[in-house]
Structure 1
């Protein structure tokens, strides 16, 4: 990691509709092969934790339920446009395990599952200016 999470900006019109919405971002370096083994082991740990019962109860968890409400408020159907945590756990249920999609994708999957918050990665070399949320 390069430091601590920083707050991004939120436009006034978005903040008017969603006063508690925020954006945090963090600069990190992509890890090496040793960390790949740690990620695979962590995904294995999550596979053992998330059985069918835990997956079916996911939508009752406060963070997931709040994100599903937010999706509806911005015009998305959360039953069609799944949260990343729901997408990952659906794959776990259908395939019997978490499928590896490479170091970065696996790290994002683990983060989404553990925090229940949508996460994404950007190539910092392509980012121009500060990160923020607007309409």
Structure 2
């Protein structure tokens, strides 16, 4: 990984998660979105579409090791990656219908490009609403994600990426509407480093997504 450009940082992991899952980790970066990021993202997905085969991407033999590790971890913590697909699988399903990787905005396109090429699923939120560095923890009783009438309750013990004061998003789930990064000028990106994932790939995935968005 080149030392130039946005440098991912390690996020803290709650002690109970460390005890239970050992090598579980979090990498994150805060980046400014370049004016040309949307156009660059469309062009990047167009190039990737030339050699992309959605059917192969949805089979075990066609998936990167990082993606299989994420699916295994999702099942380990009670999630169903088939009922609630990870970003790479969603991209493959959309591509199977459209015949190509489908662009949907600068941030989403950067995350999709990384997921397709590495198998690492990233999350992103509008940095303007984040208070403090992201961390990985479990929820307590009565916690919600989102604000106001759109707030959704979270079951106690749900694994979430959080800032100093609230949950930003559950593991592998989309953020609430008030944190949607679609039009954000600055975003916080993250990826969860799960047990059995290839070393360094999670950190590098965050770096690549940050580099795509900043245009470096």
TM-score by length of structure 2 reads: 0.57
What root-mean-square deviation, in Å, do the aligned CA atoms of Structure 1 and Structure 2 show?
1.9
Gaps of 5+ in 1: none
Matched, 1:48 2:36: no
Query: Structure 1 residue 23: deviation in Å?
Result: 0.7
Checking the alignment, whether the CA contact within 8 Å between 2:54 and 2:93 is kept in structure 1 is no
1:68 maps to what in 2?
A: 71
1:111-135: CA deviation from partner (whole Å, max 9, x where unpaired) = 2222211111122121112211011
Query: Structure 1 residue 69: deviation in Å?
Result: 0.9
1:77 maps to what in 2?
A: 80
Segment drifting more, 62-71 vs 49-58:
49-58
Partner of residue 90 from structure 2, selected from 87, 90, 99: 87
Higher fraction of helix: 1
Distance 1:107 1:52, change over 3 A: closer
Partner of residue 8 from structure 1, selected from 11, 14, 32: 11
1:20-78: CA deviation from partner (whole Å, max 9, x where unpaired) = 11111111111113x43322121012111211453243565322221111011111111
1:37 maps to what in 2?
A: 39
Distance 1:53 1:98, change over 3 A: closer
Higher fraction of strand: 2
1:85-135: CA deviation from partner (whole Å, max 9, x where unpaired) = 111111111211122211122112112222211111122121112211011
Checking the alignment, whether the CA contact within 8 Å between 1:71 and 1:77 is kept in structure 2 is yes
2:105 maps to what in 1?
A: 102
Matched, 1:133 2:136: yes
TM-score by length of structure 1 reads: 0.87
